Amino acid sequence: MRYFIELSYRGGAYHGWQTQANGISVQTTLEAALTQRFQQPVFVIGSGRTDAGVHAAQQFAHFDVPAEINTSESMIHSLNCILPDDIGIHSIFPVRDEDHARYSAISRYYQYHISRQKDVFAPGLTYYFQPQLDDRLMNEACQILLKYTDFKSFSKVRANVTHFRCQLAFAYWERKNADQITFHIKANRFLWGMVRTIVGAMVEIGQGRMSLDQFDQLIQARDRTLLGRPAPANGLYLTEVGYPEGVLVNRPND
């Protein structure tokens, strides 16, 4: 039987979602807890591979087991007691054998949070950046971004992909208050390092260090080496994963 897991995590302590040879990952930690609780080997596949330090407000993964398992609230609670405080399971529910956490997903929605004020009670959860940013210019850059579907300029150089095309649904900056600003972006797929590199470029625009024309030309150049450093991982959140109708039909409270 195949089951989906809905979970969230703080990524600061992990070398990303995917199992790594040189560090602890969210995937490895989750598999260890499931294996311990269900008393059988459990291997999970996630909807996406978040980078080291990136958070997830909503992540889905699937796993296969030979027979039906207990997915009650008490079972979820016991799993959460096994897991560290920075990983939380919200639900486990059965899906069809053909439903796949990664390949069935039709959209991913990310947010990137920037704050001019240091939050000592939630360290590592936003990009602490003191200079004032012009969100009007940054939103004009979003309109330029939405004209394109090839984002090779924003992908890491070593990306092992067959193409660099992504269909954006939206991209915009939202100012929460004088000190907090959030980037929203949703697409059918994202390239390795894409969102953080976009944010890094837009922060340059927001400071007046890059013009809108330069931003447009950099996208057209399809050359990652022409862009600067990506924004830090700690401000980035996988916020929502979208699936076709029917995939999440057994999800509790859905």
Confidence category of residue 19, pLDDT binned at 50, 70, 90 = confident
- Are residues 129 and 52 located together in one domain of the fold? no
Range of the domain at 54: 2-104
pLDDT of amino acid 254:
56
- Are residues 29 and 124 located together in one domain of the fold? no
pLDDT of amino acid 161:
78
Confidence category of residue 20, pLDDT binned at 50, 70, 90 = confident
- Are residues 81 and 195 located together in one domain of the fold? no
- Are residues 84 and 125 located together in one domain of the fold? no
Among candidate residues 51, 179, 223, 254, the one labeled active-site is: 51
Give the Cα separation of 225 and 243 in Å (integer).
34
Confidence category of residue 21, pLDDT binned at 50, 70, 90 = confident
pLDDT digits (tens, 9 = 90+) for 51-106: 999 999 999 999 999 999 999 999 999 999 999 999 999 999 999 999 999 999 99
Total structural domains in the chain?
A: 2
Residue 18 has pLDDT above 80, yes or no: yes
- Are residues 123 and 161 located together in one domain of the fold? yes
Average pLDDT (202-206) is 97
Residue 164 has pLDDT above 60, yes or no: yes
- Are residues 116 and 219 located together in one domain of the fold? yes
- Are residues 116 and 216 located together in one domain of the fold? yes
- Are residues 16 and 119 located together in one domain of the fold? no
pLDDT of amino acid 38:
94
Give the Cα separation of 48 and 46 in Å (integer).
5
pLDDT digits (tens, 9 = 90+) for 73-88: 999 999 999 999 999 9
Give the Cα separation of 254 and 251 in Å (integer).
5
Give the Cα separation of 36 and 66 in Å (integer).
16
- Are residues 94 and 132 located together in one domain of the fold? no
> Is 51 known to be catalytic?
yes
- Are residues 81 and 119 located together in one domain of the fold? no
**Percentage of the chain exceeding pLDDT 90:** 88
- Are residues 99 and 162 located together in one domain of the fold? no
Q: What are the C-alpha distances in Å from 14 to residues 68, 72, 178, 232? A: 31, 28, 32, 14
pLDDT of amino acid 4:
98
- Are residues 69 and 173 located together in one domain of the fold? no
pTM of the shown model: 0.94
Q: Say if 135 falls within a structural domain.
A: yes
pLDDT of amino acid 159:
66
Mean pLDDT taken over the chain: 94
Task: Write the CATH number for 53.
Answer: 3.30.70.580
Average pLDDT (105-134) is 95
Q: Say if 254 falls within a structural domain.
A: no
